[in-house]
Amino acid sequence: MLEKIKTTNLQEGMFVVCSANGFTSLPAELSNKAIASKADISAILQLNISEVLIDSEKSAAPNSFPQSTYSEEILFAREAYSNALNCVQKIFQTIADQGQLEIAEYKKDITPLIDSIDRNNSAAASLTVLARTDRYLLTHSLNTTILSAILGRYMGLSRDLIEELSMTAMLMNVGQLWIPQKILQKKGKLSREEFQQIKEHSLKGSRYLEKQNTPATIIKSVQAHHEKYDGTGYPDGLAGNDIPQFSRIISICDAYDAMTSDRPYREAMTPNAAIKHLYSMANSAFHPRYLESFIKCVGIYPVGCFVKLSDGRYGVVVTNTPKAPLLPQVKIVFNSRFRAIHPEFVDLSKRSEETQGNNLEIVECIHPKTFKLELDRFLW
């Protein structure tokens, strides 16, 4: 995926295609290649070029940690998720008590979660399907943070930018603290006046953060996280690339997590149904290339999908395969008669290569409530 970025945000490993200025060209030795060193970055910065196009699929996102398997990482991710949720609660409580936000301290609190995402992002992603309705504002903020970090990492953002993106996602809905709960929890259709109050939360949040000496990037991105690619969003009607990069990322993750969570006015969608719904809004609500990256990143059957396989067995998707989005890794937990079995991890992409025509594949994604299942018992 081609992505326009400022030259000041270049990182080692990014695959630079060409200048995005339109009139100043990159020298041949710096174009169509991955940045190999800080010297390459310095050479580009010395040119009269403010932006370049990078190919995120060819970029090598820095790996600070050795990779782990899902089963190895899930317990670490679970603890990191719990601690990060406490951090979100602390942020909202500080705001309610009219205290002073400590952004630098909050970044430290979520570092273990981002570390876990570096090692194996599927473990943290699987925990986003367990949001509790009674703590929706907290869990939704954290789930959007996790999904945004995963997408940002897939797109090749540096660790520093992922940390700032994560803080932005955690703070995106602070303005909802000034919205009456009876509106937020209303089961029926909102009136025009009620919806107008809902729409004010992004602006209220950004204005509050301004008074807290929050970094400008976070403030602008919080304010713009409900802007739409076609310019029909709020509060400023921004469109296309005028929407801050963090907001373009967060808006997709925010919508996905909302769709896959139970709300007072509707039940949660299955993850793959949410993906289909998001895809229908490409070029209208969401930046098409960002949405394409998100779908590649989380898969057609995202982590947390309860699925039926072509051999009649049932399981939970635990790891996505970006190069084969229809063939994730599945933890099989029931046989074809829906009787519990000893869990078996099956990588459908490898199984497809090995069987050569006799493929094992997903035939259906099922809402766990159909069988009165609690997914958390299958995720570790």
Check whether 317 has a pLDDT greater than 60.
Answer: yes
- In this prediction, residue 131 carries a pLDDT of 57
**Rounded CA separation 81/77 (Å):** 6
Query: pLDDT averaged over the chain?
Result: 88
Q: How many Cβ atoms sit within 10 Å of the Cβ of residue 51?
A: 15
Q: List CB contacts of 87: < 8 A, sequence separation 6 or more.
A: 106, 109, 110, 170
**Listed residue (8, 11, 30, 9) closest to 19, CA to CA:** 30
**What's the gap between Cα 13 and its chain centre?**
22
Query: pLDDT tens across 246-277, in order?
Result: 999 999 999 999 999 887 777 888 888 999 99
**Rounded CA separation 57/352 (Å):** 24
Query: pLDDT tens across 165-207, in order?
Result: 999 999 999 999 998 888 888 878 888 899 899 899 999 999 9
Instruction: Express as a percent the part of the chain with pLDDT over 70.
Output: 94
Alpha carbon of 109 to those of 151, 193, 213: distances in Å?
20, 38, 19
- Residue 264, SS3 per DSSP: coil
**Listed residue (68, 3, 9, 380) closest to 217, CA to CA:** 9
Q: List CB contacts of 377: < 8 A, sequence separation 6 or more.
A: none
- In this prediction, residue 113 carries a pLDDT of 96
Q: How confident is the model at residue 22 (pLDDT cuts 50, 70, 90)?
A: low
- In this prediction, residue 6 carries a pLDDT of 80
- In this prediction, residue 220 carries a pLDDT of 97
Least confident of 32-46, 77-91, 140-154: 32-46
Alpha carbon of 44 to those of 10, 19, 51: distances in Å?
9, 10, 10
Task: Spell 242-276 as b/e; 16+ CB within 10 A means b.
Answer: ebbbbbbbbbbbbbbbbbbbeeeeeebbbbbebbe
Check whether 30 has a pLDDT greater than 70.
Answer: yes
Domain boundaries, the chain: 2-55, 70-298, 306-378
**Rounded CA separation 258/266 (Å):** 11
Look up the pTM and report it: 0.83
- In this prediction, residue 133 carries a pLDDT of 57
- In this prediction, residue 189 carries a pLDDT of 83
What φ, ψ does residue 268 adopt, rounded to 5°?
Answer: -65, 145
- In this prediction, residue 101 carries a pLDDT of 94
Least confident of 90-94, 135-139, 233-237, 319-323: 319-323
Q: List CB contacts of 58: < 8 A, sequence separation 6 or more.
A: 15, 34
**Rounded CA separation 115/308 (Å):** 32
Structural fold of domain 2-55 = Molybdopterin biosynthesis moea protein, domain 2 (3.90.105)
- In this prediction, residue 17 carries a pLDDT of 86
Look at the block and give the residue holding tokens 């609500």: 285
- Residue 364, SS3 per DSSP: strand
- CATH number for 70-298 (one of 1.10.20.10, 1.10.3210.10, 3.90.180.10, 3.40.50.2030): it is 1.10.3210.10
Query: pLDDT tens across 47-100, in order?
Result: 878 888 888 767 765 555 678 888 889 899 999 999 999 999 999 999 999 899
Do the Cβ atoms of 174 and 95 come closer than 8 Å?
A: yes
**Listed residue (121, 177, 110, 169) closest to 145, CA to CA:** 169
* DSSP codes joined into one string, 68-130: --HHHHHHHHHHHHHHHHHHHHHHHHHHHTT----HHHHHHHHHHHHHHHHH-HHHHHHHGGG
**DSSP for residue 191:** P
Query: pLDDT tens across 332-375, in order?
Result: 999 999 999 999 999 998 876 665 556 799 999 998 888 888 77
